[in-house]
Amino acid sequence: MNHRWKPSVTVAAIVERDGRFLLVEEHTPEGLRLNNPAGHLDPGESPAEGCARETLEETAHPFTPTALVGVYLSRFQREATGEDITYLRFAFCGTLGELQMGRSLDTGIVRTLWMTPDEIRASSERHRSPLVLRCMEDYLAGQRFPMALIYTDAAVLGRLGQG
């Protein structure tokens, strides 16, 4: 059988304010875990648009990506079910807007937290993925790439014939 391998494309926001990073605590099959505001890229959106949408849904804060922190490939194997997933993550830093009061958080998100780098390092056993720590460390090291590095064709966005 010829099976084509397709990684799951995800986007994540790396948000730092006053020496603390914005994380979410969320329900997963493995229990309560910490993650960057992150999620799957939806059809019809660019990686930056997906990151802005996911951050708003999970934190109730608007987010404007301003730089690409990195592109990451990670494999996750769920022991209980044998599920084997490879994730391709685009991580962005940017500007976080004001909390939209009254907006509910996405299904599964328990709360948002602001944690110091040392607190994040000390809680690695609770991270949803090793990329939570890696993305923060790359951000702290000053790793930034221009947004123009990622090109999204107009056809992806539903604007056919524009080029």
The model's confidence at residue 16, banded by pLDDT at 50, 70 and 90, is very high
Whole-prediction pTM value? 0.91
Long-range contacts of 145-149 (CB under 8 A, 24+ apart): 145/67, 145/68, 145/69, 145/70, 146/67, 146/68, 147/48, 147/65, 147/66, 147/67, 147/68, 149/68
The model's confidence at residue 160, banded by pLDDT at 50, 70 and 90, is low
Tell me if 75 sits within 8 A of 86, measured CB to CB: yes
Residue 80: pLDDT over 60: yes
In degrees and rounded to multiples of 5, residue 47 shows phi and psi of -55, -40
What the chain holds in terms of domains, given with CATH numbers, is: 8-148 (3.90.79.10)
Locate 41 and state its tokens. Answer: 């890229």
Which pLDDT score, from 0 to 100, does residue 1 have? 57
Q: What is the mean pLDDT of the chain?
A: 93
